[in-house]
Amino acid sequence: MLVVGTNTPFPPFEYVANGTVTGFDIDAINAIAIKAGYDGITVNDMPFDSLILALQEGQIDVIASGMTITPARQQQVDFTLPYWEADQTILVRKGGGFNPQDMTDLAGKTIGVQTGTTGAYLAEEDNASLGPIKDHDTFLYAVLDLVNGRVDAVLVDSPVAPAFTSQYPVVASATIRTGEQYGFAVRKGNTVLLNALNSALRKFKGSPDWDVLLTKYFNDQQSMNQNQQGLDPLQYVPYLLTGFYYTALLTAGGLLLGCGIGISLAFAETCLPKAIRDLSAAVDQVLRGIPLIVMFFLLYFSLPQVGITLAPGLAAAIGLGLRSGGYQSQIFRSTIESIGTEQTEAALSIGMNTFEAYRHVLLPQALRLSIPAWSNEFTIVLKDTSLAYALGVTELLKEAANIVALTLQPLGVYLIVAAIYFVASTGINRTMNMLYVRWKIPGLGGGT
Ligand code: ARG
């Protein structure tokens, strides 16, 4: 399997339809990979400005993302032969009366761009005369900001402009000639893969299959209009539920790992000698002190430098688990401390060792007392899974963004998403509360 990194939506090169990433780039790199002897591809949809790093760190093998071959990027990665040409198009609101013909007409205007793209670089070069430049994670958000009047114009690659103008109330007012060429990118020095891709690309471009792809994505109006499913957000609930499946997996993984770490740290912090106690207190300070997104980047982008490469979902689950472990340790520690030392002393006096006293006397009571605070931690982990989007995990929120791209119905889609999170968190919180009541220990405090 060739692992492909891309960034949607960039139609018709890459976009999500029927829950899967598709598009010209995806079909092309798949055909090329097969010609080059691979048995297929797996696609990782990630932020555009993370692609090069992910490639360098070995998280992906090739970038297929309408990426322009630029001298700066050539320092960092190796590009295949060019396969497409592009310029930059200025998009403006339809009927807005603003009709810029070149960059000078954009003087003083707010420009929307996608972070790390050639459009963003073009705007930055002209920074002196332009108004504020607003960076967006994807072109979709730039276009939505344009539709909603938050920016005056968007700079987007000319080959994708028609897909946006046909779907959204925006028009192309001019195209600025930049003479860009797209290439697929591989890790610098990976000449084996580069040569294999290049010779497969050469063959592919000369074959009828290439024309089939061109027709499929550029001539055929039917498939150009990616949204064959209609605009009703409710139709997309099954996709949202698939996204929620990954959200649930991340939540479960993060909480379980966090529980293991939390219980161990709490044991160390309450029952073990001072030196170990201090050490584990320091560990949980660190776990709680690092922003989750930084933890994700450390695990996903930095570990490969020491030879450990984690899949995005695994990196996200571990990140959630580490941070939650820090918090859970504090939940367990405070409940253990509330149980009082007499119980430990009693346990030790009947011949248990420290670990047994913890395991059989303190922990069972502490776990029950921890339920209310722990429900809270559950809700936090559940909601924070959405950050896994930054690593390319298609969890609920990312799936929602894909659907907004298709339907242009952010209100309906995000309301459904909010409802799904709400039902999940209330459902679990209620269950936890039931367990709390059922497991009530007579005579021990902690509510009804
Ligand atoms: N061609 C431009 C660049 O290389 C934009 C590419 C954006 N691609 C994407 N899949 N969002 O910077």
Which range, 61-75, 222-236, 291-305, 375-389, has the best average confidence (pLDDT)? 61-75
Specify the residue for token string 């807005």.
96
pLDDT digits (tens, 9 = 90+) for 153-173: 999 999 999 989 988 899 999
Kindly give the interhelix angle for 191-205 and 24-35, rounded to the nearest 10 degrees.
110
Please tell me the distance between residue 176's alpha carbon and the centre of ligand 1 in angstroms.
16
Distance from C-alpha of 202 to C-alpha of 291, rounded to nearest angstrom:
46
Question: Is the C-beta atom of 280 inside 6 A of ligand 1?
Answer: no
Question: Is the C-beta atom of 10 inside 6 A of ligand 1?
Answer: yes
Task: Indicate the pLDDT class of residue 448, thresholds 50, 70 and 90.
Answer: very low
pLDDT over 70, % of the chain: 96
pLDDT over 90, % of the chain: 67
Distance from C-alpha of 174 to C-alpha of 100, rounded to nearest angstrom:
7
Please tell me the distance between residue 130's alpha carbon and the centre of ligand 1 in angstroms.
21
- Residue 304: predicted pLDDT: 86
N- to C-terminal Cα separation, the chain: 55
Atom of ligand 1 nearest to the CA of 65: 10
Distance from C-alpha of 157 to C-alpha of 154, rounded to nearest angstrom:
10
Give the residue, out of 62, 65, 164, with the most ligand 1 atoms within 8 A of its beta carbon, to mutate for a pocket test: 65
Question: Is the C-beta atom of 50 inside 6 A of ligand 1?
Answer: no
- Residue 223: predicted pLDDT: 45
Atom of ligand 1 nearest to the CA of 182: 1
From residue 320, give the alpha-carbon distance in Å to each of 258, 259, 385.
Answer: 8, 11, 7
Could you tell me if 358 and 405 are in contact, meaning their C-beta atoms sit under 8 angstroms apart? no
Distance from C-alpha of 274 to C-alpha of 293, rounded to nearest angstrom:
32
How many CB atoms lie under 10 A from the CB of residue 136?
21
Contacts of 72 (CB under 8 A, 6+ apart): none
Please tell me the distance between residue 12's alpha carbon and the centre of ligand 1 in angstroms.
12
Strand arrangement, sheet containing 153-157: 133-136, 111-114, 153-157, 84-93, 170-182
- 107 DSSP 8-state letter: B
Atom of ligand 1 nearest to the CA of 25: 10
Give the residue, out of 6, 83, 114, 138, with the most ligand 1 atoms within 8 A of its beta carbon, to mutate for a pocket test: 114
Question: Is the C-beta atom of 118 inside 6 A of ligand 1?
Answer: yes
Give the residue, out of 6, 87, 88, 117, with the most ligand 1 atoms within 8 A of its beta carbon, to mutate for a pocket test: 117
> What pTM, to 2 d.p., does this model score?
0.78
| Structure-block tokens of residue 107 | 């003087």
Q: What mean pLDDT is reported for the chain? A: 90
- Residue 122: predicted pLDDT: 93
Please tell me the distance between residue 154's alpha carbon and the centre of ligand 1 in angstroms.
14
Q: Is 353 helix (H, G, I), strand (E, B) or coil?
A: coil
Atom of ligand 1 nearest to the CA of 180: 1
Give the residue, out of 7, 16, 22, 48, with the most ligand 1 atoms within 8 A of its beta carbon, to mutate for a pocket test: 48
Please tell me the distance between residue 388's alpha carbon and the centre of ligand 1 in angstroms.
22
Question: Is the C-beta atom of 14 inside 6 A of ligand 1?
Answer: yes
pLDDT digits (tens, 9 = 90+) for 54-99: 999 899 999 999 999 999 999 999 999 999 999 999 999 999 999 9
Could you tell me if 385 and 309 are in contact, meaning their C-beta atoms sit under 8 angstroms apart? no
Could you tell me if 31 and 209 are in contact, meaning their C-beta atoms sit under 8 angstroms apart? yes
Contacts of 210 (CB under 8 A, 6+ apart): 28, 204
β-strand partners of 17: 20
Contacts of 191 (CB under 8 A, 6+ apart): 78
Please tell me the distance between residue 60's alpha carbon and the centre of ligand 1 in angstroms.
17
Distance from C-alpha of 358 to C-alpha of 267, rounded to nearest angstrom:
7
Average pLDDT over residues 317-343: 92
pLDDT digits (tens, 9 = 90+) for 354-366: 889 888 988 888 8
Please tell me the distance between residue 118's alpha carbon and the centre of ligand 1 in angstroms.
7
Contacts of 80 (CB under 8 A, 6+ apart): 183, 184, 185, 186, 194, 197, 198, 201
Question: Is the C-beta atom of 66 inside 6 A of ligand 1?
Answer: yes
Could you tell me if 214 and 140 are in contact, meaning their C-beta atoms sit under 8 angstroms apart? no
Q: Which long-range contacts (CB under 8 A, 24 or more apart) does 350-355 make?
A: 354/271, 354/272, 355/267, 355/271
**DSSP string covering 217-235:** III-HHHHS---S-S-GGG
Q: Is 409 helix (H, G, I), strand (E, B) or coil?
A: coil
Residue nearest to atom 5 of ligand 1 (CA): 117
Task: Indicate the pLDDT class of residue 127, thresholds 50, 70 and 90.
Answer: low
Do the bridges between strand 2-6 and strand 62-63 make them parallel or antiparallel, or are there none, so unpaired?
A: parallel
Average pLDDT over residues 186-192: 95
β-strand partners of 130: 107
Please tell me the distance between residue 79's alpha carbon and the centre of ligand 1 in angstroms.
14
- Residue 343: predicted pLDDT: 86
pLDDT digits (tens, 9 = 90+) for 436-445: 888 887 766 5
**Cα radius of gyration (the chain):** 26
Please tell me the distance between residue 7's alpha carbon and the centre of ligand 1 in angstroms.
8
Please tell me the distance between residue 139's alpha carbon and the centre of ligand 1 in angstroms.
9
Domains belonging to the chain, first-starting first, are 2-83+184-200 (3.40.190.10), 85-181 (3.40.190.10), 234-438 (1.10.3720.10)
Average pLDDT over residues 28-55: 94
pLDDT digits (tens, 9 = 90+) for 396-415: 998 898 888 777 788 899 99
